[in-house]
Structure 1
Amino acid sequence: MTRKVPHGLKIHPDRVHMIYPLGCNLVIENLQTRQQEFLLGHNNNISCVTISNNGKYIASGQLTFMGFKADIIIWDYESRDPYARLVLHKVKIEDLVFSSSDKFLFSLGGQDDGSIVVWNIETKEPVCGSPAQHKSAGITYCLAAAKDNDYLFYSAGNGTLRFWQLDVANRKIRPTDINTGTVKRIASLDGTHLYCGTTTGDVLMIYIPAAQFKAIGPEKKKYSMGITAMQALVNGDVLLGTGEGKIHIAEQGTFKSTKCLQAMGEITSLALRGEGHMIFIGTDRAHIYKVNYADWKMELINTCHNSPINDIAFPFGSSELFGTCSFQDIRIWHAPTGNELLRITQANKTCNSICFTRDGKIIVSGWDDGRIRCFYPETGREMFTVNDAHHRGVTAVAVTNDCRRIVSGGGEGMVRVWQLNQNSRDLIATMKEHKNAIVSIRINKSDTECVTASLDGTCIIWNLKRFARNQVLFENTLFQCVTYHPEEYHIITGGTDRKIAYWEAVNGAQIRELEASKSGTINGLDIDCMGHYFVTVSADKLVKLWRYNEGEVFSVGIGHGSEIKKVKICPNTEHIVSVSADGAIFRWKFPKNAG
């Protein structure tokens, strides 16, 4: 979400829509209905967003790779289509801002580019450009436009603060320098004063006509961990967000805090609705909060993971809830609303795999510190832990249908079976044939066998009575996912060769191969309870729904802004849930015309 994009959360002037980046895509979310639309056009992660003052345009800039040009797209808000694609900067667009009457767009390139370019919105052409700072100065981070003058704007950064005058006739922009420290955010309210927030926790106020300091504050208590976001309020006060996650109202002149709220994570965005009666806050922990200015109360309205999501699971037979896991936490979600119901946190550890016992009484999870942790689903309290389950991390877990055994896979390639007794968890078998990490485990309905997929290019069907190999499936691929057909006569696999393969469960013979993606690894697949359809996701950011018998794609989901990691069809076959590397969770309607 907005976590990695400074000032990436915006409120449209229509006061109805919230706009924020999600990987390569822009999300336009209706604040009343929560309905979302997606603007697809960038080929890499979005790095900055701005909205024109009249609300007609949205401009977004992106990251790209060293040596390549980074695109700016101007979107027509009404039609949701690209209005212009502007290509001059290299590697990264650092910041964008429209001039006061939306005649020009000012763009700032990143560290590897270091230039400011002025664009004419009507002609879609560059007017002029200039290096953003002296060679002796540090990096420029941000731009702000004058409120009442199309030809005046400001830039600030590490040891640089400049006023720029645009001379269209001579195609030049001329800077005036003001000496200062590291400035990470600037805001202008009335055209007379410029407010600057610094990494040292000061607020500077500069008198624009004379280009000189007017005030600096607060005098004694600085804002901890620097000022990371700011907005000037109509009454002259300044709204500040800090690196420690606090939102302050700083009074005009002294810049002392008069009100304060605590959010989770560093504040990356502050967006005002209307005159500022409603404030929206984005943090680097992928939280979006809403604050009513009048009663100064904060409400969490949106959240997702702030790291790649590694796994997703539904409780048996329930489509109301599902669980996801990532770096530092497991979260339980209410599927119909998308609200977070429970968060289980383990500091500085990554959860690789998650599942529910069939009776719904235990959340079983595998972690990179080599432990299997089990939790109560109602409270998130830890039930028990299996220490040293695998010495290279637990990479996959599954539970037998009788809820009496856990089958785990590790980074070293071992498959282990654990007996769940009332007061103990006993290792009853270790099966070692895989030469690399186990990525997926599926157990059949009768608990007599399981299939494991590994990055060593094999899938092994194990007998869970004898704890020995029944069959091995070889393929020139690194397997990423495996599942049984509900009838259990077939096994389906996907991997780095971008193909889906059908295998006979009895003898391990391959019976069909489908090309599932033109460009990306198949990271996840799931099959519906009747065995008529299956869904695949891959690094190409597409969700594909297939007819099982025909082997044909009949529906494609486009919306993810990053590599998709896992996917599940909900038990009632009404929705599909997919999760991606940018921490996003998408819920798709299962097509009604599937038959």
Structure 2
Amino acid sequence: MKYMVNIWFDSLVGNEARLKNVVGRSGVTVNGIALHHASDTLLQVAGSSIIVSSAAGHNRFEGHLISQTKQQFTCVAVTACGRFAATGEIGHQPAVRLWQLRDDQGNFVGRLVRSMQSHTVSITIVRFTPDDSTLISIGCQHDAQIITWDWKTGHDLGIGKLMSPVNAMTVSFDSSMCVTVGSKSVKYWFLPLASDGLNKRTGLTSRSAILADKRNVNFVDATFCDSTNRMVAVTSSGEILEFNGNKKYVKCYSWKESGDFKAICIARIPEGLLVGCSDGLVRLFCLIGDDLDFLADLAPPTHLFQDPSNVFEAQQLLNHPEDAIFPEPRCLVASSSNPTFVVGYADRSLIEFARENKSWSFRRASLGHTGSVNCIEPFPSSSPCLPAGTLITGGSDGTIRFWNFNGDTEDKKDIANILCPSLLKVVYLEENPDLLLDKRNMESVGPSNDDNQSATSSGVLCTRVTHDGRMMIGGTATGMLYLIDLSFSDTPIIDVINAHDNDVTSIDFSDHATTSSRDQPMFLASGGRDRFVHVFRRIPYSSQFVHCAVLDGHQSAIKSIKFASNNGQLHLYTAATDRSLIIWKLSSFSEQHCEFTRVQQISVPSSIGDMAFIKYVEMFVVGGHDRMLRQFDINGKSIREVKGTDDDVAHSGKIQKIAIDHSGSYAVSVCSDKYVYVTDLRTGVCLAVLCGFGAPPTDATFSDDFKNVIVTTSNGAIFIWQLAKNLTERMISAQVRLMEEVTMR
């Protein structure tokens, strides 16, 4: 398979889209993040993509390294010169891949140079030596190999056999050796050089450290302290062990007896040794002398259940409530020659700091969901409550997040925060802090697809905003409906309704229907995996809803429900996995009761994954597990059916979610084969295949200005794809023609 170059068009099929931005990440590990200090360039793993971002001066940019395969990246490294990067991956025949980041003029390239295959199952660590002479790669416990490469030619220089899983690796200052630490193991490896003239693979010479009474300890991180090969390592129990230049354990530092904290990760900066601790703080210790002398500590600028919309001043980054819960640091990425370092926390926040003139300085932060992002919805652009272009996402961490990626616009100035400007607000529906934290994983295999699948059935599963943007509802995996008032800046939760036995799969408000009846109350409908559809009626002059009907016409899980108006009468369309689509009509209603009668039941050839209704076009589209998009008019009559995927790419999988542009001309199909397809609904031509997710995408939507397609994934990342200018213009033209037809009706 070919690997793409991140130039303007980088979708698999066609030339109608390019990856513009990625928010969030697959996880936070020391091997999944790399920092080039000279250019202030940060590399991080996000599924099958690598985010390359820079915040140096006014030259802010974001580029991407995108794999066209479905294999997820597990680790990344960057050379000391900053021009090349290496990646490792998990899957069938994983390869160490070398990428060119910049050309001689410093412009971003993002080109794959070569692939080097020798590992099996998974590659967990890649690292360049400080002099850029050698690339080191380490496989998981099933591969059990450490390989050194001449990355400029692609030849392997030596191979070593690992006797236990490796959690971390560090390279000496002079590039002559590296140390791997893991389960009951601290091993020194002597590195061959490309200049040695070795043209064939040789065995790597190694020596185990003398551990004495620490030989049964599990080591999780390590770093060299100075040019004398003095080294320190962190154990899973929170101790720091020191090794001298003779590879002998000489001292143990522990804070367990005082009960204050445990060490989790370490890194070296010019002023001393950084230690990430279990209480959320990063502590700095002096390395001059025989002991680790405490110098300073750094609290994270964020805490759990914090709303970033309240952070407007730098002083607020230092002030936290007394009962604040801090996420523990999971990794530190730093250099012994530069004061800038990056801290990755357990809530998947990534924050860059600098230690200069004996003081800390906050540089930038990146926040995101912890776990799967289950749903996405554009906020109504006509509403004054939030800036135009705002997006709403719901995640398995029990949060609803409001995003805006339009840059520094006028309507964002009043609500933009200094912590993460693109994240406008966070609403917490769950009070369980464990949902906001990643579990510590010492397994050296890589990300698990099973974990991604299970994560999608927790937290917030679906959201829906009213047409005027003043109220929204969130459905969770526990069957609860959370009603949120968006007209107030603190977005209070108005009501909590226990509607279903388990997953709430779809919800809708009746004010989205094109009905002009003013004497009709607003209805709220929710469908669940328990196959029931519950209908609620809004109490007049109130924000409360009361239950008024139950629809049980389906025999399996509800996938989508939509309100619509047909000849001035309110209809409800429900689709389920029992291959049926039922049209219900509101026949009567009162203050205590409402009645929906079944008008028609439509059977489709395959199980239904999702349904979308196009306002004003009076047409709905059903995506099936046979990867077909079936279009029906508002009366249930079949109009046409087209392929929702590309036959050259999609050989398996099923459509799980669909999104239609406002003109009803183009569709986005989210498929379980880890690809997202942009299709012309009139001709069935696949315009673009979006890739690089690494995990099954969960939902997608068009932006209100037709310029972007935003895709959420089960690994926690949000991908923003920019559509080609000619495709955007066609959508806008179709929308204008449609509105002209509506006006003339």
TM-score between the two structures when normalised by the length of structure 2: 0.73
* CA gap 1:559/1:274 in 2 versus in 1, 3 angstroms: farther
**1:131 corresponds to which residue?**
161
Which residue is 1:324 aligned to? 393
Match of 1:484 among 588, 600, 613: 613
Query: Is the 2:267–2:335 Cα contact (8 Å) retained in structure 1?
Result: no
Is residue 254 of structure 1 aligned with residue 292 of structure 2? yes
AA aligned opposite 1:435 = Q
Q: Which moved more, 1:172-181 or 1:409-418?
A: 172-181
Instruction: Tell me which residue corresponds to 1:357.
Output: 466
Cα contact 1:153–1:164 (8 A) shared by 2: yes
Shift of 1:431: 0.8
Alpha-carbon offset, residue 194 of structure 1? 1.4
- CA distance 1:550–1:122, change in 2 (3 Å): closer
Q: Secondary structure at the residue paired with 2:511?
A: coil
Call closer, same or farther: CA 1:219–1:558 in 2, change over 3 Å. Answer: closer
Closer, same or farther: CA 51–182 of 1 in aligned 2, 3 Å: same
Offset, 1:351: 1.0
- 1:99 paired with 2:129, answer yes
Retained in 1: the 8 A contact 2:147–2:159?
yes
SS in 2 for 1:53: coil
- Structure number with greater CO (CA < 8 Å, separation at least 6) is 2
1:53 paired with 2:73, answer: no
Q: 1:38 — aligned with what?
A: 64
Amino acid at match of 1:197: V
Aligned length: 584
State the partner residue of 1:394: 504
The answer to which of 439-448 and 368-377 deviates more is: 439-448
Larger strand share, 1 or 2: 1
Q: Sort the Cα spacing of 1:258 and 1:220 in 2 relative to 1 into closer, same or farther, 3 A.
A: farther
Amino acid at match of 1:162: K
Decide whether aligned partners of structure 1 residues 447 and 539 sit closer, same or farther in structure 2, where only a CA change above 3 A counts: farther
Could you report, residue by residue, the CA deviation over 1:290-326 in whole angstroms, capped at 9, with x for unpaired residues? 2232342446621221222211122333543121101
Of stretches 291-300 and 356-365 in structure 1, the one that deviates more from structure 2 is: 291-300
Letter of the 1:497 partner, please give it. D
The two structures, once aligned, show a CA RMSD in angstroms of: 2.7
Report the Cα offset of residue 184 of structure 1. 0.7
Please tell me whether residue 286 in structure 1 is matched to residue 348 in structure 2. Answer: yes
Q: Secondary structure in 2 aligned to 1:401?
A: helix
The residue type paired with residue 354 of structure 1 is T
Alpha-carbon displacement from aligned partner over 1:129-182 (angstroms, at most 9, x marks no partner): 22223xxxx5222222221134x2111112111112246669222222122422
What pairs with 1:440-589 in structure 2 (closer than 5 Å)?
A: 440-445=560-565, 448-465=570-587, 466-509=595-638, 511-517=640-646, 518=650, 519-589=652-722
The change in CA–CA distance for 1:351 and 1:229 in structure 2 (over 3 A counts) is same
Contact 1:308–1:583 (CA<8 Å) still a contact in 2? yes
For 2:496, the aligned partner's letter is: T
2:479 corresponds to 1:417: no
TM-score (ref. length: structure 1)? 0.90
Deviation at 1:124, TM superposition (A): 1.2
**In the alignment, is residue 379 of structure 1 matched against residue 490 of structure 2?**
yes
Equivalent position amino acid for 2:354 in 1? N
Shift of the alpha carbon at 1:406?
Answer: 0.8
Q: Which amino acid aligns with 2:613?
A: Y
Provide the C-alpha distance between the structure 1 equivalents of 2:686 and 2:292, rounded to a whole number of angstroms: 63
Whole-angstrom distance in 1 between the partners of 2:190 and 2:381: 65
CA distance in 1, matches of 2:50, 2:721: 18
CA distance in 2, matches of 1:242, 1:566: 36
The correspondence for 1:305, drawn from 369, 377, 402, is 369
Paired residue type of 2:538: L
Instruction: Report what 2:22 is aligned to.
Output: none
Letter in 1 for 2:611: V
Candidates 57, 62, 65, aligned match of 2:89: 62
Structure 2 residue 476 is matched with structure 1 residue 367: yes
Q: After superposition, what is the alpha-carbon deviation per residue over 1:179-225, rounded to whole angstroms, capped at 9, x for unaligned? A: 242211111243321121222222222222x2223443246667977
How much has 1:21 moved relative to structure 2? 0.6
Q: Give yes or no for the alignment of 1:333 onto 2:455.
A: no
- Helix, strand or coil at the partner of 1:201: coil
Shift of 1:486: 2.8
Describe the shift of the 1:126–1:273 C-alpha distance in structure 2 as closer, same or farther (beyond 3 A): closer
